[in-house]
Chain A
Amino acid sequence: MRDAAKTGTGAMDIMSRTIAKLLFLPTLVAAVAILVKGYAQTGDGFSAGVVASLGVVLQYLAFGRREAEKLPLVGLAGKGAFLGLLIGLLVAAVPVALGDPVFNHYPGPGYEVVYLGTLEFITPVLFDVGVFLLVFGFAVGSVRAIAHTIDREEEYRGPDADDLGEEDVAKGEQQ
């Protein structure tokens, strides 16, 4: 399985690549839909973030790190996580600065809300976007960091690294 992934000739590989490619855009669209409709229907920022990152992780699995990182925004995901956290903190803290309780939502109860389709323009939705960014950034960012490390180790140990002898296995168990 591993050798096939390297040379890229296995039949399984072609299939998984085709499927991964086909699924990528629909996954992202589904994620955005879950996020936008979150306040009216099933779903929220967390689910949307997981769906979107599943799409990206699938690309990593099918194509490997180098190809996957050519996708737009993947490199920025880690920073996006902290942008999400910042948004969350702002939504929480700004009401305090304005003299309202923490996490007070605007517009308040009884006020009109601006709609764009099902998307509501209220602060909890903004918070949800923050959660989305954070979950997406966490998943993609950590996968990316792990993939980097694996690549670096392979470069360091050379291409025969995966033919570990029995001694190495035993050593690994002791640790």
Chain B
Amino acid sequence: MLLPLFVALLAAPAVMLAGVWRPSLAAPVGATFAALAFLATAFAWYRGGGSVDVPWAPAWDLRFSVALDGLAALYALLATGIGFLVLVYSSRYLRLHLGHEGRPESEETRFYGFMLLFMGSMVGLAVAQDLVLLFVFWDLTAVASYYLIAYDRRDPDARASALMALIVTGVTAVLLLIGALVLYAAHGTLSVPELAGRVEPGLLLDVAGLLIVVAALAKSAQVPFHFWLPRAMAAPTPVSAYLHSAAMVAAGVLLLGRVYPLVEKSQLLLDVLLVVGLLTIAVGGVLALTRDVLKQLLAYSTISQYGYVVFMYGLGGEYGAVGAAFYVIAHAFAKCALFLTAGAVSEVTGEDHLSRLGGLRKPLPLLAAASGAASAGLAALPLTIGFFKDELFFEAALERGLLFAVLAVLGAALTFAYTWRFWGGLFLGEVRDGAGGLPAALVWPIVVLGALVLLGGFFVEPFAHLAEAAGVASYGAPTPIEPAYHFDLRPVNLMALGTFVIGALLVISRPVWRKGALAVSRLGEVAGPGRLYEGGIYGLNRLSDYVHRGEVRDLRSRVAAILLPAGLLVGAGILLTPSVEAYQVGEIKTRDLPLLLALVAVAVAAVTATFTRRHVSLALVLSSAGFVLALVYAFFGAPDVALVAVLVETVVTLLLLGTSKLIPYKVLRSQAELPLGGKRWRRIFFSCVAGAFAFAVVWGALSQPAAETTVAEEHIRLASEAHAKDVVTAILADFRGLDTLGEITVVALVLLGIATLLNRGRLP
């Protein structure tokens, strides 16, 4: 059972290696791995699936829990199968694309590497049963998509779009994690099947479920998160095709299908899905009718199509889950084919605006036929797999009520209209010359997909079987579906007929509603959630700049930025702590005299430091205070702290020496004194606040009678069990090892930063 996941995850590193060795090998190796992963998945599913459940971090209750159930098989087969076709297509497309931009062949490796990482993480996401494991793969898809959308990295628009996709899906992914942890806190497990048995309808489920659902909706580009998907069209076309049909956007509805056993227990969540789905169908559909750029049209159509899936999940009932699964299959074939068509057409004509294209049926007959089949599938014409997707859709809507049935027909009519617009606009109309000679690798994947769409129209059983199995995983009970052609006037057939009529009317009456649709589109640009995102990012940037400027304007304000908040926080802490007997002056014994002398020396040095203006004297005064303080630590019986203090003082002295060696002598002499500058009283105030509260804290800490067992005593007790004689080292390297690890990681990152900065932005 682990074989499919293993092959899929191995693919990315294998392709990277092959690509480093010889760039031209990346594509064939990638396609081979995709095909192998597909076969492995199909074989494992044929053998009856299976599951693996291994604890990998038992201390944190994390399990590597995967299962190849129906839902997993459906999405894994889509990801690997469509992945294979897309990779075959890219093997030709990418070379042409790089050729246009004058980029070297070696950049291909990066593309295939991330494509297969995408595929591997999709397969992982499909089989994961543990919510945290799911989250890991979820974020992996986001990372892969970021690099793929920004593949044309010299294009600033591509980079901005990739960042937008990453932020929208990444920020909401955190909600998924929070939701998972809320469920874990309440029910003590992260496994979805176990959770399904334990959750109860109520506020907790509503909140946790909503968090997870929001993550899924953002990934599926549902309203109001839909704005990132059209922007993501900056990616090369095969990436878009894959992203829309079998990965990324599909991942969102995959998550819905996975957590459906939890979602269906809460009416609120179902209603949210229903409303969001309906809104998305409308917004995506209307906007798709207004777009002129091929890929933009398809992007909005994807948004609207996944709106159907979400809507069906929201409908609930017997047909909801299974219908949604079937819809995903049918849509994946059709949408992938249409994207690849758009890529092929742009490649051969150099044009990507619908209004400047047309009449391509003559020069490209095979492409016209294949994408015609795919379009028919999307528009749900009979004799295609699409007819059944709408049949199930209508049945699910009918089950819920007449209102929903009407809405469903209207939505399907929109699909009909924009699909016609795409295909008709490309291939019908006045025949133009100058197109032709399309490479075979750009056509055959589309032909295969078109054939699949038609095949599904005649032999729907295998696809229906897969959808049923997926429905079992989501809905919990088997819901047999029997998609077939019925030659009678049953409601579903009437609805389909109504769809075609309304759709045709929409196509014909285009001049009537065109202005209105464009107005809606303008409204979305002016006041849509995309603007909110841009405003939010802009505001955050401004805030960050403001804080940054305030903090680093000069050395003084930087020090003040640390001292003042530290003083205030400490002050708040002191004022809120009970202070009975906290501040006492103990008696002074004779043996404390050396200690006292040292402290007096420190105090004198500290006071002198505040009045010294010459840089060199200041440095000397400060370091003498530091060295004497180290002596105090030694007296106190803290040799470890004393050692570190001495070392730090030495380093600082050496740094000062080195710095003064760098500064030209003239400057050193003319700038020997600290400038007095303005705002003197503000500085004195800051220093006094910080100093006074630090003084209070130290006093309070030293006079507090240590009656109860402190952490320190616990550490001393445990030190011998940890085979340590030096408690401080044991704390640093063992008891608080995780803190130390965090600190040294920061140090390593700083080193990287220094080296990169000094090397003009490149790693040395």
Q: Given the complex of chains A and B, what is the CA–CA distance between A102 and B62 in angstroms? A: 13
Partner of B758, one of A88, A96, A148: A148
- Residues of chain B lying within 8 A (CB to CB) of residue A54: 647, 650-651, 654
Interface centre among B665, B758, B764 (most CB of A within 10 A): B758
Contact in complex: A101, B661 (CB < 8 Å): no
- Min CB distance A147 to B, Å, is 10
* A-facing residues in B708-764 (Cβ within 8 Å): 721-726, 728-730, 732-734, 737-738, 740-741, 744-745, 747-748, 750-751, 754-755, 758-759, 764
* B725 engages A103 (CB within 8 Å): no
Q: Are B748 and A162 in contact (CB under 8 A)?
A: no
B747 touches A134 (CB 8 A): yes
B485, CB-defined interface residue at 8 Å: no
Chain B 620-661 interface 0/1 with A at a Cβ cutoff of 8 Å (1 = within): 000000000000000000011001100110110010011001
Contact A39 B59 (CB under 8 A): no
Are B733 and A128 within 8 A (Cβ)? yes
Knowing A44-B729, A50-B651, A89-B741, the reply to whether A99 touches B664 (Cβ < 8 A) is: no
Interface presence of B56 (CB below 8 A): yes
B59 touches A61 (CB 8 A): no
For residue A97, which residues in chain B have a CB less than 8 angstroms away from its CB? 56
Given A46-B732, A85-B745, decide whether A145 and B755 contact each other with a Cβ distance below 8 A: yes
A residues within 8 A CB of B639? 42
Which of B651, B658, B747 touches A61 (beta carbons < 8 Å)?
A: B658
Are A39 and B724 closer than 8 Å at their CB atoms? yes
Task: Indicate whether B684 reaches chain A with its CB closer than 8 angstroms.
Answer: no
Given contacts A39-B729, A54-B651, A81-B748, contact A149 B758 (CB under 8 A): yes
Query: A85–B744 contact, CB under 8 A?
Result: yes
Q: Are B750 and A138 in contact (CB under 8 A)?
A: yes
Given known A-B contacts A99-B55, A149-B758, A169-B671, A42 and B726 have beta carbons under 8 A apart: yes
B523: interface (CB < 8 Å): no
Tell whether, in the assembled complex, residue A1 and residue B665 are in contact, meaning their CB atoms are under 8 Å apart.
Answer: yes
Give the complex CA separation of A89 and B662 in angstroms. 37
B733-A142 in contact (CB<8A): no
Q: Could you tell me if A58 and B654 are in contact, using CB atoms closer than 8 angstroms?
A: yes
Is B678 part of the contact surface with A, judged by Cβ < 8 Å? no
**Are A43 and B647 interface neighbours, CB within 8 A?**
no
Interface size band for B:
35 or more
Whole-angstrom distance between the alpha carbons of A46 and B755 in the complex?
A: 21
Bound CA–CA A169/B441 (angstroms): 65
Q: A139-156 interface mask toward B, CB cutoff 8 Å, 1 = contact, 0 = none? A: 101100110111000000
| Cα–Cα, bound, A108→B658 (Å) | 46
Residue A122 interfacial (CB < 8 Å): yes
Residues of A67-99 at the interface with B, using a CB-CB cut-off of 8 Å, are 78, 81-82, 84-85, 88-89, 91-92, 96-97, 99
Total contacting residues, chain A, CB less than 8 A:
68
Q: Does B667 contact A (CB under 8 A)?
A: yes
Question: Beyond A61-B654, A78-B755, A145-B759, is A164–B726 a contact (Cβ under 8 Å)?
Answer: no
Say if the beta carbon of B666 comes within 8 Å of chain A: yes
B741: shortest Cβ distance to chain A, in Å?
Answer: 5
Q: Which B residues lie within 8 Å of A78 (CB)?
A: 751, 755, 764
**B670 on the A face (CB < 8 A):** yes
Which of A1, A125, A127, A163 contacts B661, CB < 8 Å? A1
Is B59 a contact of A101 with CB atoms below 8 Å? Answer: yes
Verify B664–A145 contact, CB threshold 8 A: no
Residue of B nearest to A105 (CB): B734
- A-B contact list, 30 entries, CB within 8 Å: A39-B723, A39-B724, A39-B726, A39-B733, A43-B640, A44-B640, A50-B651, A51-B647, A54-B650, A61-B654, A81-B748, A85-B745, A88-B745, A91-B737, A96-B59, A99-B55, A101-B59, A110-B721, A120-B723, A124-B722, A128-B729, A128-B732, A135-B747, A141-B755, A142-B754, A142-B755, A162-B664, A162-B665, A164-B664, A169-B667
Additional 16 contacts, C-beta under 8 A, given A58-B654, A135-B744: A2-B665, A5-B661, A38-B733, A46-B732, A50-B647, A54-B647, A61-B661, A78-B755, A88-B745, A92-B741, A99-B58, A113-B723, A124-B733, A128-B733, A134-B747, A149-B758
Residues of B within 8 A of A (CB): 55-59, 639-640, 643-644, 647-648, 650-651, 654, 657-658, 661-662, 664-667, 670-671, 721-726, 728-730, 732-734, 737-738, 740-741, 744-745, 747-748, 750-751, 754-755, 758-759, 764
* Chain A to chain B: the 8 pairs with minimum beta-carbon distance, closest first: A109-B721, A124-B733, A42-B639, A103-B737, A124-B734, A44-B729, A101-B59, A40-B725
